[in-house]
Chains A and B, each alone.
Chain A
Amino acid sequence: MNNLNIVQIGAEALALAVLFATPFLFAALGEVFVQRSGVLNLGVEGMMLMGAFTSIYVVSSKGLGADPVIGLLVAMVVGALLGLAMAVVSVTLQAEQGISGIGFTLFGLGLSTLLFKLLAGGVITARGFQSLYIPGLSDIPYIGKILFQQNVLTYLAFALVPISVWVLNKTTWGLQIRAVGQNPAAADAMGVNVARVRYLTLIFGGMMAGVAGASLSIAALPVFQENMTEGRGFIAVALVYFGGWSPWKVMGGALLFSIANNLQYWAQNYNLQIAGSPIAPNLLLMVPYVLTILVLVFARQRRRQEPAALTKPFTRGEN
């Protein structure tokens, strides 16, 4: 293997890392808003699965055969509706957020599987979002391949990082979200409607989770399988802790986990060996999950940035 080859393979690996960071990024950015407003949405996994199936069904010739943009919109609506349901449960009914999130994950897993088996009969693929070469930039050697030959959802996900930072830190909206997450009683006294803010962030977070699912099923892969997210929704929640509730650091985490997720693919494609024998694929597939646990341990110093009211329901006059 000569040097040029290694650089080429490296560029290809990074391009793939950017592509598969997309679902992490959508889901985790949505979760940043939710958690900044003081709610923990652990239903992300189920919402991603629902977004993934509904969007591919809309786009696939086996389903409605619509444009990928329509598929994306449907995933947004489905995710938003699930986010709204989570808001009713966790904000209005003040249910324990961890357990209700698991309930939404089970619901999404079950319903996406049920729909998949009944409507798609076991196999479904689609011609989803194609790579969009950015004129000029995509011709830059290596960099072009890594950054500027991606599909439109990937561009959108990365564009949302600075936008999220700006919204959270520079707008009245962001201020209200942060106030509600830090000190809901004070925010309430200032005339901010705590429940309304949390409803809106949960609807937004659900929508982003739906898009995250769609970015897998109608862009990165494009195929649907039972439980295809394989814990990505939970990893996205962990990324929010890892990133200390800051979108830029969450983006770094998304790229890191995307690389970890692709390890097995690269080991297989390039026949990586340790001591002369191939590495068992199942051991490589463990890496992202082990990494998540390690990250949660080392992210504990970041806990100081944790929104003070996270997971605490707010009742006027009680807090």
Chain B
Amino acid sequence: MNLRISRSDFIIALAPLIAFLLALVAGGGILLVLGKNPIEAYGVMLDGAFGNEASLFRTLTRATPLLIIAVGICIAFRAGVINIGAEGQLFVGAISAAGFSIYAGAQLPPILLVPLTLLVGMIAGALWGAVPGFLKARFDVNEILSTVMMNEIAVQLLLFLLSGPMIDPEQLAQGTRVPQSAQLPEASWLARLAPPSQLHTGLFIGLAAAVVVYLLLWRTTTGFRIRAVGQNRDASRYAGISVPRYLMLGLVLSGALAGLAGAVEVTGITHRVVEGFAVGYGFSGIVVALFGRLHPLGAVPSAFLFGALLVGADKMQRTMQVPSATITVLQGLVVIFVVSSDFWVRRYTARRQARVATNMPITPEVTPATPSEVSA
């Protein structure tokens, strides 16, 4: 696992930026070959993302679910479990939150409804993550493959629920049978911050999640153990840490946050679950987390950047007929370049450690190394 990057070294922070620029250049090359002017395309994207107040709000709105997902991904990847299942965890979180709000909403006081709806989404996401988590902890099942499969299952589950048990009664009445849920009661909607934009209080939930997860990972014993298991499973086992428990915890917490992102999206923006709801958010969240160096606070600017990319891509698609799939290409390139750049980061840190070791002044305070330290 080359996932442990906690030093705030200049070069380490710089590596993803260089990777990002390379991805933009490579993506631009592809656009050029396809007969689209990359400079113009990127210019339109920039304008679409930051051009005016409305577009800035759109960027923040789009960044919100990405941030929440990415913060969860940080926990899983830090624990050494590669959770690719955010997509599915988000779906079940959204559909469960919607179901709870639609069917129980009327019986609850509004003050309880919003937090409970979000909690239901979190629990559903956590359970969806617990399945591959348990299989990883108990049977050593490759979590990448199992979470990908859980994504595909969630897609079908969502369609099954939306076209059958949870279909909007109005769709049935009109006989149109569009697969979508009923609208959530208004009492469960998140407040809008700057109408008419869609920006909602979910942004604060995302920022709070980033801080809480940062504190969890670096200020608590649980967080220390999660990171220890991620860095070296064998050493953690010798140190008496229950490795399976923390592998599972990593996936459960990660799933809970993805589920929360789904609940936030449905209560904050769409107010109902529709076919094709939030498709691709889970994968974008993974890219955001990697780009933020798997640090919850790094995920904040990273989510903002990728939110901007997605919003800009919508504009690019409208005005230049460049399909928004361009963003998926860029995301893939960013992932490839970021994990590749670890090579230079490792080399740099290794060289510097070697230099520090040879320049170490020999002072009387330094006790001679014991044989065990020498061999280590």
How far is A124 from B145 in the complex, measured between Cα atoms in Å?
30
The answer, yes or no, to whether B362 is at the interface (CB within 8 Å) is no
The answer, yes or no, to whether A164 is at the interface (CB within 8 Å) is no
Question: Which residues of B approach A to under 8 Å, CB–CB?
Answer: 1-3, 30, 34, 82, 84, 131, 135, 139-142, 144-146, 148-153, 156-157, 159-160, 163-164, 283, 286-287, 290, 322-323, 325-336, 339-340, 342-343
Q: Are B156 and A285 in contact (CB-based, < 8 A)?
A: yes
Binary per-residue interface labels of chain A (212-238) against chain B in the complex, 1 for a CB within 8 Å, 0 otherwise: 000000000000000000110011011
How far is A110 from B335 in the complex, measured between Cα atoms in Å?
13
- Given A93-B340, A95-B342, A289-B152, verify A296-B141 contact (CB < 8 Å): yes
Contacts of A231 in B (CB 8 A): 148-149, 151-152
Contacts of A237 in B (CB 8 A): 145
Q: Are B156 and A106 in contact (CB-based, < 8 A)?
A: no
Number of interface residues of A (CB under 8 A): 48
- Given A118-B34, A231-B152, A293-B135, verify A100-B82 contact (CB < 8 Å): no
CB distance from A86 to the nearest CB of B (A): 9
Q: Are A117 and B153 in contact (CB-based, < 8 A)?
A: no
Q: Are A96 and B327 in contact (CB-based, < 8 A)?
A: no
CB distance from A318 to the nearest CB of B (A): 11
Q: Are A230 and B135 in contact (CB-based, < 8 A)?
A: no
Listed residue (A105, A118, A290) with the most chain B CB atoms within 10 angstroms of its CB:
A118
Residue of B nearest to A94 (CB): B343
The answer, yes or no, to whether A140 is at the interface (CB within 8 Å) is no
Q: Are A103 and B329 in contact (CB-based, < 8 A)?
A: no
Please tell me which one of the listed residues A46, A102, A105, A117 contacts residue B325 in the complex, with CB atoms under 8 A apart.
Answer: A117
Contacts of A96 in B (CB 8 A): 1-3, 339, 342
Residue of A nearest to B140 (CB): A300
CB distance from A16 to the nearest CB of B (A): 21
Residue of B nearest to A89 (CB): B340
Contacts of B327 in A (CB 8 A): 110
Listed residue (B82, B157, B164, B327) with the most chain A CB atoms within 10 angstroms of its CB:
B82
Residue of B nearest to A113 (CB): B325
- Given A99-B82, A114-B34, A296-B145, verify A106-B152 contact (CB < 8 Å): no
Q: Are B283 and A106 in contact (CB-based, < 8 A)?
A: yes
Contacts of B336 in A (CB 8 A): 85, 89, 95, 100, 103-104, 107
The answer, yes or no, to whether A42 is at the interface (CB within 8 Å) is yes
How far is A285 from B335 in the complex, measured between Cα atoms in Å?
30
Q: Are A300 and B152 in contact (CB-based, < 8 A)?
A: no
- Given A89-B336, A282-B157, verify A230-B323 contact (CB < 8 Å): no
Q: Are A106 and B332 in contact (CB-based, < 8 A)?
A: yes
Contacts of A300 in B (CB 8 A): 139-141
CB distance from A264 to the nearest CB of B (A): 10
Residue of A nearest to B142 (CB): A296
How far is A234 from B151 in the complex, measured between Cα atoms in Å?
12
Contacts of B34 in A (CB 8 A): 114-115, 118-119
Q: Are A286 and B145 in contact (CB-based, < 8 A)?
A: no
How far is A98 from B131 in the complex, measured between Cα atoms in Å?
20
16 A-B residue pairings within 8 Å (CB atoms)? A89-B336, A93-B342, A95-B336, A99-B82, A103-B335, A106-B328, A107-B332, A108-B332, A234-B145, A238-B142, A238-B149, A282-B156, A292-B149, A293-B131, A293-B141, A296-B139
Contacts of A196 in B (CB 8 A): none
CB distance from B105 to the nearest CB of A (A): 26
Known A96-B1, A293-B150; further 4 A-B contacts with Cβ < 8 A:
A100-B339, A106-B328, A111-B30, A111-B325
